[in-house]
Amino acid sequence: MRATIRRPEEILAYRSLTEMLGPNARKIWSVAPSDSVRAAAQLMADNNIGFVVVMEKDTLAGVLSERDCVRHVSKSGQSLEIPVAQIMVRDVVSVGMQQTFAECLRLMHTHRIRHLPVMQGTRVMAVISVRDLLSEATEHHRKIIDELERERLTIFTSMA
């Protein structure tokens, strides 16, 4: 039986965000630096998300996660009425559409983060989460298992 040689894009680690995200636009949840932390937390709670990008006009100014909000409240005891700008992460780790699955995972692990804004130039195109990567890996492995099962059946039926 001839061994199948996989092209790089068929190997999960080499799949680009362009391939993973596809042509469909994703909703990008955002707040302004002047919005209150309470409003940002409410937006996250209402939409069952854990991360928002902080946009000033059309420019990425920072990011804010549920963890950032919880840490702020637990450490400082300050009100949630302060502006997002006071607690947002300004040094944003982001990726481009050409980045691969493996590069995204490596960045998340290295920086101990769960979300990455996906940029095209200065424009935020999407946000990818560790959950998105896990879903991609699960689907990829399901396809490989199906393929192996078909190969196994072919081998057994050809021997009969």
Residue 3 is assigned to a structural domain of this protein: no
Report pLDDT for 1: 47
Question: Residues 82, 36: contact at Cβ < 8 Å?
Answer: yes
Q: What is the CATH number of the domain that holds 99?
A: 3.10.580.10
User: Beta strand pairing status for 59-65 and 95-96?
Assistant: unpaired
Residue 105 is assigned to a structural domain of this protein: yes
pTM score, whole prediction: 0.81
CA–CA separation, 106 and 108 (whole Å): 5
Residue 81 is assigned to a structural domain of this protein: yes
Report pLDDT for 107: 97
Residue 57 is assigned to a structural domain of this protein: yes
Residue 71 is assigned to a structural domain of this protein: yes
Report pLDDT for 26: 82
Residue 2 is assigned to a structural domain of this protein: no
Residue 31 is assigned to a structural domain of this protein: yes
- What's the token pair of residue 115? 């979300």
Q: Which domain holds residue 144?
A: 8-159
Cβ contacts of 97 within 8 Å, gap of 6 or more: 16, 17, 18, 21, 118, 119, 120, 125
Residue 80 is assigned to a structural domain of this protein: yes
- Write the single-letter amino acid at 73: V
Q: What tens-digit pLDDT sequence spans the chain (160 residues)?
A: 455 666 655 677 888 888 888 887 789 999 999 999 999 999 999 999 999 999 999 899 999 999 999 888 887 667 888 999 999 999 999 999 999 999 999 999 999 999 999 999 999 999 999 999 998 888 887 888 888 888 877 877 777 6
Q: Is the dihedral angle over the CA atoms 109, 110, 111, 115 positive or is it negative?
A: negative
Report pLDDT for 151: 80
Number of domains in the chain: 1
